[in-house]
């Protein structure tokens, strides 16, 4: 049962049972547990230590087998190629991540009064959802300007820690026109509108 593990679990119930032993027996038993966990070989033990070790050994064996199974499964999955790589959309102009120009000349007739919560397509990759959000902002270009929309976009499309959802998708309610007007009233740094 020689293992490649760098660590092992030392259970609380072992500690509770061992702490009452005299210091020499406790030391012998702890050394035996560590040796067996890392080397897979049971060292020679006194009769008392051997009796107690026989209660600990099955958990060490079970944990080592579980670890080996996990390593084997991970190796098999690695042979299959693993998870596909994430794709990222890059923009050539860093100070204009939306890529907007001030060309909207129709006086915002295409702005919808009520924009639905952006949670509608969570099944799409985050890059596509970001692109959809960018497209939802484009009708507001003339009203709010490129710089404010860029700031708004950067803030609300920030991904969560797992990288699965954008900040706007974590909100319970969402109305784009209301959020934009609140963002503007707070001076573009309202960060939590």
pLDDT per residue over 46-93, tens digit each? 998 898 888 888 998 998 888 888 888 888 888 887 666 776 555 444
- Look at residue 167 and tell me if it is in a domain: yes
What six digits make up the tokens of 163?
């990288």
Last residue of a domain, one of 79, 105, 130: 79
Residues 39 and 100 in one domain: no
114 in helix, strand or coil?
A: coil
- Look at residue 174 and tell me if it is in a domain: yes
Q: Per-residue confidence at 94, pLDDT binned at 50, 70, 90? A: low
Residues 32, 37, 41, 42, Cα dihedral to 10°: 30
Q: Per-residue confidence at 155, pLDDT binned at 50, 70, 90? A: very high
Residues 55 and 145 in one domain: no
- Look at residue 5 and tell me if it is in a domain: no
Residues 103 and 184 in one domain: yes
Confirm if 193 and 177 have CB atoms less than 8 A apart.
no
Task: Using the Cα atoms of residue 164, residue 166, residue 171 and residue 173 in order, give the sign of their dihedral.
Answer: negative
Domain count within the chain: 2
- How far from 97 is each of 24, 45, 104, 109, 130, CA to CA, in Å? 67, 68, 18, 24, 11
**Distance between CA atoms of residues 169 and 179, nearest Å:** 13
Say what the pTM is: 0.40
* Residue 163 confidence (pLDDT) above 60: yes
């Amino acid at each position: 049962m020689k293992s490649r593990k760098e660590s092992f679990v030392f259970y609380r119930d072992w500690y509770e049972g061992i702490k009452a032993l005299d210091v020499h027996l406790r030391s012998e038993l702890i050394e035996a547990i560590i040796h067996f966990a890392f080397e897979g070989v049971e060292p020679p033990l006194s009769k008392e230590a051997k009796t107690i070790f026989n209660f600990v050994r099955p958990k060490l064996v079970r944990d080592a087998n579980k670890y080996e199974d996990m390593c084997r499964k991970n190796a098999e999955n690695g042979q299959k190629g693993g998870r596909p790589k994430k794709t990222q959309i890059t923009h050539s102009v860093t100070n204009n991540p939306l890529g907007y120009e001030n060309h909207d000349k129709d006086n915002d007739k295409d702005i919808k009064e009520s924009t639905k919560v952006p949670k509608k397509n969570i099944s799409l990759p985050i890059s596509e959802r970001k692109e959809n959000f960018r497209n939802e902002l484009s009708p507001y270009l003339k009203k709010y300007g490129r710089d404010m929309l860029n700031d708004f976009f950067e803030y609300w499309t920030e991904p969560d820690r797992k990288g699965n959802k954008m900040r706007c998708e974590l909100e319970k309610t969402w109305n784009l026109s209301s959020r934009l007007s609140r963002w503007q009233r707070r001076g573009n740094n309202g960060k939590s509108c």
